[in-house]
Amino acid sequence: MDSPRHPNCIAVLTLGFLVFTIATPVSAQPGASSEAPWMNAALSPDERAALVVKEMTLDEKISLLHGTGMEGLSPISPLATGSNGGAGYVVGIPRLGIPPIQMSDAAYGVRQSGVNGRYSTALPDDLAGAASWDLDAAYEYGALIGRELRAQGYNMSLGGGVNLAREPRNGRTFEYMGEDPILAGKMVGAVIKGVQAQHVIGDIKHYALNDQESGRNAVNVNIDKRSMREGDLLAFEIGLHESNAAAVMCSYNRVNGDFACENKYLLTDVLKKDWNFPGFVLSDWQATHSTAKASAAGLDHEEPGEIFFGDVMKSAVQSGQVPIAEVDDHVRRILRSMFACGVVDDPPQKGVVDVVGGFEVAQKIAEQSIVLLKNEKSQLPLDASRVRSLAVIGAHSDVGMISGGGSAQVDPPGGNAILPPGRGQTRWGEPVWFPTSPLKAIRTKVPGAAVQYAAGADIPAAAALAKTADVAIVFAYQWESEGMDLDSLSLAERQDDLIAQVAAANPHTIVVLETGSPVTMPWLNQVNSVVEVWYAGSRGAEALANVIFGDVNPSGKLPITFPKSDADLPHPTIVKPPRESTTAGEPDEWKRIAAGLPAFQITYDEKLKVGYKWYDAEKKPVLFPFGYGLSYTTYSYSNLKVTPGKSVHLSFTVKNTGKRAGAEVAEVYASLPASAGEPPKRLVGWSKVKLNAGESREVSVEVDPLYLSIFNTDQNSWQMLLGDYTFLVGGSSQSLPLKAALSPQ
Ligand code: BGC
């Protein structure tokens, strides 16, 4: 362990019963104030920040409390001259050796690289990352983003989305980590850890309950504290605990009456007090709605401008409305995060992005995240030596694969594949197809075969082509973006008809889904194979072809349930605001939003029953359950032992009973004592195990007592109840062959 006196993004977060510290050395850079006492890297980030705060004027303090505008969202502050072109820019204080903060969106890669004349790798989307259930892959995902941010001159990431999928039609589902707080929290934590290890400030967002885009600036989410703490907020709690993320972005919506960015319960009572979060809270873009109220509630920084935390804040301090101690705390938190993450001692240097290395990481993660949903008659993998003809159909699969839009959008290296050359720029609201061609990747695998393409718009023509081929591969997509939601989980644009008619024409039909959310599948019984590739990133086609032809054995598992129909969701229709609100850029619109749009209500009365917990409790059959995913081999489970202790220790044997090497995600669920009043079971741990054909291995999983606890709102604390706990182990939430009981004393 490195010396905690030289910390990198360190924090000591107490999480119930756990204490956690990460530390690596950083060294001071010579600069204008290299002699200043706070440049001594041997001091803790808190000590260093406190020394700086003492030297600052009120104007300097205020300058750290807000951004300086953003292109497209006027007015742009004259202070923004040094901006690197990212979503946020905070001026530095050269006199004190404090650099500016250059923020960029970076959900599945660095955004806006193209318009800034730079390059960035597009990884598979965040939900795909979660489908790998692989913490090392998640760390690599974040490390790549951190490296590319630095190479482009940024020192802060705006990634780390972890809103729980209460509403799977949310247009940002692809930016989040699914429906389970423990999986989502651990995976996002590993991503942010990877980002911060590159000396980039990491961020976790959107805190909290921004679970749909429709009316996000107005909606008031009604939810009880226990459901929040055990679900939505637990994902953040675990994510922060795992990563020591230095920043939290509060969200647009209201929660139980107050906007998230002026919500004392969320920002102070839970985040800063219960979780001892030492970093800073920044508002989502235009999500600040007040000065004194927001500041007192725990908001430290306004983005992207200075409506409330600039001159107005200064006057509020001068008139005594906002105590200077409060401002000092905001400033200290921002500075300590900068010191802790190494952005003062080791500022980013612009450099060349490792393009080839990025492609390799993107492909490897895509290969681990692809989920094989159905494989009747072992249709897959295809035997390249035996396929003579293939029909490739639909979803622009001749040239590209779809990506997720909004502020997460990565400019595709090589341009938007469906636009003429030179028109590759991304535009808000327009779907972008990454230039990774499934048709080409498939042709490369079977150079001797006739591989033909049909666009799919002409359904009879596509079916006719399918009829002539040995195998038909139909691609279907569902585009999602920030600022919109899906009306339904059904595929749009007659794609269900396309699949059904191709399947009627060819008994060897494979469906490839490029979606950011679950979809319904009225044609499921007609097709042999279904492969979910999510938004597969810059090297999606190569990854997919490797799975289709068996060079890669699929190992992804669903981080989100695929229900049978919208009618089975907790809210069969998505709740829309009386009139659409928008974050669109005009100053008048901005002011209107700042004033606070009239609230409309969503009540999450499903409470604790999010995702599989809902379907389990309501006994609703689903299409594909949480945690599910097939492989080209098979696994057996045996020999479960459960040993109580400080944490509960489980061991069991997983055997690869098939003929191919593979990786199995072995999942552990627990049922709590009946007195807990919980849904039937919850995920409490997992392990992804690589096994050669015939190999068996003893697998160990430690279950953190937090994961077996309930949140007692009367005592405002986690509580592990006495009674009978049942542990269930297997390969999906609905295939759990091993079972053991434990009664803690
Ligand atoms: C999004 C954030 C994003 C910010 C800056 C907002 O519209 O909700 O996720 O980080 O814009 O682009």
Q: Say which CATH number the domain at 544 has.
A: 3.40.50.1700
Distance CA 78, CA 334 (A): 22
Among the atoms of ligand 1, which is closest to the Cα of residue 161?
A: 9
CB 103 near ligand 1, within 6 Å: no
Q: Is residue 387 in a domain?
A: yes
CA-CA distances (angstroms) from residue 221 to 35, 71, 254?
A: 50, 30, 6
CB 407 near ligand 1, within 6 Å: yes
Residues 335 and 396 in one domain: no
Residues 406 and 328 in one domain: no
Distance CA 235, CA 207 (A): 10
Strand-pairing partners, residue 477, are 514
Residues 328 and 378 in one domain: no
Distance of CA 578 to the CA centre of its chain: 29
Residues 533 and 638 in one domain: no
Testing ligand 1's pocket by substitution, the residue of 102, 284, 480 carrying the most ligand atoms inside 8 A of its CB is 284
User: For ligand 1, atom 11, which residue shows the shortest CA distance?
Assistant: 285
Residues 118 and 168 in one domain: yes
Using the 8-state DSSP alphabet, how is residue 38 labeled? G
User: For ligand 1, atom 4, which residue shows the shortest CA distance?
Assistant: 285
CB 158 near ligand 1, within 6 Å: yes
CA-CA distances (angstroms) from residue 698 to 637, 666, 690, 734?
A: 10, 11, 12, 22
Residues 146 and 289 in one domain: yes
Are 498 and 597 in contact, with CB atoms under 8 Å apart?
no
Q: What pLDDT is stored for residue 580 in this prediction? A: 52
Q: Say which CATH number the domain at 724 has.
A: 2.60.40.10
Q: Is residue 199 in a domain?
A: yes
Number of domains in the chain: 3
Hey, what's the torsion of the CAs at 419, 420, 422, 425, to 10 degrees? -10
End-to-end CA distance of the chain: 35
CB 106 near ligand 1, within 6 Å: no
Testing ligand 1's pocket by substitution, the residue of 104, 108, 158 carrying the most ligand atoms inside 8 A of its CB is 158
Q: Is residue 289 in a domain?
A: yes
∠ Cα 681 685 687 (to 5°): 135
Q: Is residue 596 in a domain?
A: no
User: For ligand 1, atom 5, which residue shows the shortest CA distance?
Assistant: 87
Q: What pLDDT is stored for residue 230 in this prediction? A: 98
CA of 627 to the centre of ligand 1 (A): 30
Among the atoms of ligand 1, which is closest to the Cα of residue 105?
A: 10
Q: How many helices (H) and strands (E) does the chain have?
A: 18, 31
Q: Is residue 605 in a domain?
A: no
Among the atoms of ligand 1, which is closest to the Cα of residue 583?
A: 7
Q: What pLDDT is stored for residue 587 in this prediction? A: 59
560, 589, 612 — which closes off a domain? 560
Residue with tokens 């490029």: 514
CA of 163 to the centre of ligand 1 (A): 14
Distance CA 484, CA 566 (A): 17
Q: Is residue 581 in a domain?
A: no
Residues 552 and 451 in one domain: yes
CB 666 near ligand 1, within 6 Å: no
Cis peptide before 381 (omega within 30 of 0): yes
CA of 447 to the centre of ligand 1 (A): 44
Residues 198 and 143 in one domain: yes
CB 583 near ligand 1, within 6 Å: yes
CA of 727 to the centre of ligand 1 (A): 40
Q: Is residue 22 in a domain?
A: no
Residues 177 and 227 in one domain: yes
User: For ligand 1, atom 8, which residue shows the shortest CA distance?
Assistant: 284
Q: Say which CATH number the domain at 211 has.
A: 3.20.20.300
Among the atoms of ligand 1, which is closest to the Cα of residue 252?
A: 8
CB 105 near ligand 1, within 6 Å: yes
Cα Rg of the chain (Å, integer): 25
CB 285 near ligand 1, within 6 Å: yes
Residues 174 and 275 in one domain: yes
Hey, what's the torsion of the CAs at 277, 282, 288, 294, to 10 degrees? 30
**Residues of the domain holding 481:** 370-560
HSE (side-chain half, CA atoms, 13 Å) at 453: 16
- How buried is 677 (Cβ within 10 angstroms: 0-12 exposed, 13-18 middle, 19+ buried)? exposed
Q: Is residue 177 in a domain?
A: yes
Distance CA 487, CA 469 (A): 35
CB 87 near ligand 1, within 6 Å: yes
Q: Which residues contact 3 (CB under 8 A, 6 or more apart)?
A: 23, 25
Q: What pLDDT is stored for residue 742 in this prediction? A: 92
CA of 435 to the centre of ligand 1 (A): 25
Count of positions (residues) in the chain: 745
560, 585, 600 — which closes off a domain? 560
Q: Which amino acid is at 709?
A: S
Residues 503 and 643 in one domain: no
Mean pLDDT, consecutive 10-residue stretches, the chain (745 aa), reads: 35 31 32 79 98 98 95 69 91 96 97 82 98 98 98 97 98 98 98 98 98 95 98 98 98 98 98 98 97 98 95 98 98 98 96 94 98 98 97 98 96 85 75 96 98 98 98 98 97 97 98 98 98 98 98 98 98 84 57 82 98 98 98 98 94 98 98 97 98 98 97 97 97 98 80
Q: What sign does the CA torsion over 604, 606, 607, 610 have?
A: negative
Residues 546 and 633 in one domain: no
